[in-house]
Structure 1
Amino acid sequence: MVTDALIEHRREIADLKQRIKNRRLQMIGLYGTPIAVVPVLLAWAGLKVFRWLHVDTPGAINGIFGGTVFVLGALSAAQMLMEFSSLWGLWEDRKTPVRELRLELSLAEERHILEARRRTPPPMDRQASYGERMSGEVARLRKESRHYRRMHLAMQWLLFFGSASISAVTAWYDPPQPAKGILIALGFTVTVITAAAGYFKPRERSFNLQQTADNIEQHSTALELGIAPYNLIEEGRNLELFATTVEGLRAEQRMREQQLDQPQQGQQQVI
């Protein structure tokens, strides 16, 4: 009964968070689509004035801009109907401000906290539940590690190709006047990627996440097999030690992330 009540509260909170995301997208589309028509019309008029002032605008240009305006107008009308008409009923929270949904979310989170405090299970049960959740935490850390590893590899390959292309284009065009624009673009790309790799440090982030995931998995396996340091006679002591150790590993991971987010001078001061 206690578990079902807490699960129901969490389900309500997750549902409200999703509704807030959906409502934000709805508001962006509702007000952004009509606004997007304005720059399209200005671009159409600007081309007419500066490019084809004394002649007819090509039919292809008129078709592209006219079709874009028609599509944006149709989308805007459809969204207006879904927002202000009850005939379709496709939008769950139509005419509902985002701040009202946020208030509902805050109240739901408060109810969840109060219910959890009122029906708090014993420490041993919470520790056992904590151990069961670690598989999901390990999967999350490894997923983020793969993300940063792929980002690092993509940046490195772009740097390889960019640097090689600069040398190749320079050697092909001598003097490099016909390919000046290409060289500028390649040099700009290499500079931006180098700066981004130095700022975001995806390789270091991937290594830290993978290391934390491996350490947590090692402790989870030791707890499951009952080997050192989780070979104590009392199961409660093993669970308490496991929770303390894993929280320490997670705190170290957060500290490393904060050090990576700091400037180089700040990192040296922290170290």
Structure 2
Amino acid sequence: MTTQAGPVERLLGFKEDILRAQEAIRVRRIQLRLIRLFTLTSIAGPLSIYLLTASTWRSIDMKPYNLIAGPLSVASIIVLGYLLHLEEIREEEENQTVQRLELDLELAEERRRLYASQVGLSLNQRQYAYKEDIAGGLQAYRRQSSHYRRVHNAFQAVIIIGSYATTAAASFADTPAPWKWITVGISFSVGTAAGFTGYYKYRERGYYLQKTADDIEHQENAFDLGIYPYDGDDPEANLSRLAREVESLRVEQKRREQELDQPHEGRQDSA
């Protein structure tokens, strides 16, 4: 026990570094989403106020609405400026881009693997360490699946709402000039959203990622509960089966991603 205490503690230290890197990536992505959100509102707010005021000039009094939308737009611009200022300071002092943090995570995982191979752990111990890494893989798959679902739902909302809005706007014969440009912009947005949805296959990517995560979780739960196919009396054989099944699911997920990355003609040829 004494001889293994040092290596085990080192492995736990590497695991802590990996968890910290994963948390840093999660926080960094939230920060970047906030910057993108306030950038969008800072541009869309004043532009919407201008277009609506110009299109309803002398017909609808937009002053009550502008008294609410105007301060909100100014507040968005101020918050965006503050976030960009913090971003500039952070890049100068820490250089914490998402790519850099992901690189740190890969290096931490690689150091853990190299150390585990050098200390001469048994096959059973390596398989157990592999099992402990399953939870991190599940979180990554589910996070990516949620991201693709959000993107797909956003594009679908643009397509559905934009299609009805374009039809309604085009039904008016005497459409004022500003509304004609708005109709053109909506039609362009619908076409762009449909093109991105069809080309990048966001729904399929999210579905396969979620399916892989569910399958891996099913295998892990079956192992923890000792039910089929992990109801054997040999714990090492059950652990080996778990590692084999999970790795097979991960390889299958990579194959699906490669197929989705191929052009449509390439997928037909492969089929």
TM-score (norm 1): 0.62
Deviation at 1:180, TM superposition (A): 2.4
Q: Secondary structure at the match of 2:229?
A: coil
Residue number in structure 1 paired with 2:204? 204
Deviation at 1:147, TM superposition (A): 1.8
Consecutive unaligned residues of structure 1, counting only runs of 5 or more, are: 23-70, 84-90, 94-103
Question: Which letter maps to 1:268?
Answer: Q
Matches within 5 A, 1:115-194: 115-172=115-172, 174-176=173-175, 178=177, 179-194=179-194
1:5 aligns with 2:10: yes
Deviation at 1:141, TM superposition (A): 1.7
Per the alignment, do residues 158 and 6 of structure 1 end up closer, same or farther by CA in structure 2, a change over 3 Å counting?
Answer: same
Deviation at 1:138, TM superposition (A): 2.1
Matches within 5 A, 1:18-167: 91=93, 114-167=114-167
Stretch of structure 1 that moved more, 125-134 or 180-189: 125-134
**Cα deviation 1:180-233 (Å, max 9, x = unaligned):** 211211111011100110112111111101111111111111111111111222
Q: Distance in 1 between matches of 2:214 and 2:110?
A: 35
**Cα deviation 1:50-103 (Å, max 9, x = unaligned):** xxxxxxxxxxxxxxxxxxxxx9xxx8xx97xxx8xxxxxxx479xxxxxxxxxx
Q: Distance in 2 between matches of 1:228 and 1:141?
A: 24
Q: Which runs of 4+ in 1 moved over 4 A?
A: 7-18, 104-114
Q: Percent identity?
A: 36
Question: Which letter maps to 2:250?
Answer: R
Question: Which letter maps to 2:194?
Answer: T
Deviation at 1:168, TM superposition (A): 1.1
Please report the RMSD computed on the Cα atoms of aligned residues, expressed in angstroms. 3.9
Deviation at 1:129, TM superposition (A): 2.5
TM-score (norm 2): 0.62
Q: Secondary structure at the match of 1:120?
A: coil
Residue number in structure 2 paired with 1:48? none
Consecutive unaligned residues of structure 2, counting only runs of 5 or more, are: 1-5, 29-80, 96-103
Residue number in structure 2 paired with 1:101? none
Q: How many residues align?
A: 203
Residue number in structure 1 paired with 2:51? none
Q: Distance in 2 between matches of 1:229 and 1:210?
A: 22
Task: Give the number of the structure whose alpha-carbon radius of gyration is greater.
Answer: 1
